[in-house]
Structure 1
Amino acid sequence: MPLFADMLSVGLATAVVCLSVVTVPAALSTACAVLRGAEEGQPATAGRYFAVLRRRLRAGDLAAGAVALAGALLCAADLALAGAGLPGAPLFAVVAAAIGAAAPVVGLRACARPESLTDWPAAVRAAGRDAVRDVGGSGLVLLAVATAALCAWMMLPLAFLAPGPLALAAVHVRLTVISES
């Protein structure tokens, strides 16, 4: 139960930081780092979360957030165009939906990697390799994303609790991959 309570407090802190959308990757990466530290006996509190975030926030984090935001907007626009009845729209919609489903999986897996604290490109490359190698773990991360989206859709206040379980799921999948290696 202490980890559950810590995960919720870190999740609420993450939700606050995520309000400016370009900070989402940095916020989730920091949440993953704090929850990873809980496995090593370090406290997983909101205070530690903000201390780690202050030490690591840099221009690369904001660039990663801008890229993620642009990708999400592009995917939404592509799906809207596919729904407009353009030629080849059904195939295009399937491809766009597959990319839209794979992107959050790779993004969350990148946030769970320690490299995300210093080098986003390396973290994303390694997360992409992990996503392909560990299909089961990627499926679990995708289910966590779908569950968080469904909960937020059903009851909007639950959106503020979603980052904690997402970070915990990504960290757990990452630690499982390490322990199996």
Structure 2
Amino acid sequence: MAPASLKITTCLWFDGQAEEAANFYTSIFPNSKITAIKRYLEAGREIHGREPGSVMVVEFDLDGHHFVGLNGGPQFKFNEAVSFQIDCADQDEVDYYWSKLGEGGDPAKQECGWIADKFGVSWQVVPKVLKEMISSEDKAAAERATMAMMKMNKMNIAELEAAFKG
């Protein structure tokens, strides 16, 4: 059995942009802040190859979710296999997060509510109502909403609702 104090933290691997990314994300999400910055030391330099004093780890919270940004190097890149889902209450929230997270991101990586930010991290900007629509007992309506969603880049709640209603 897991201990009651177990806490799972998402670690994001960057190639030198961990602090920039943490500042970017904390400027977008409410109730967010950088909680710690740890720097590389001379110890282990033959392994990590980083300049002593440069940022190694940035810890930050995004509206109650704890993250660690690690400046680990160029070995690994982000891809769509892992994404962070943002449940949006309305179109204003969808528009806000889509706009903010998309600044400097790759437009080719925008579809079905997915958007990759300028660091390559994938986000799903999803209206809460879409989840209700696609899990509806009315299978024909759920199918119409799903088909409408599949044709969208950024989610449009009015168009999803119109498709759902038929």
Shorter-chain-normalised TM-score: which range? under 0.3
Higher strand share: 2
Larger radius of gyration: 2
Higher helix share: 1
Structure ranking higher on relative contact order (CA contacts 8 Å, 6+ apart): 1
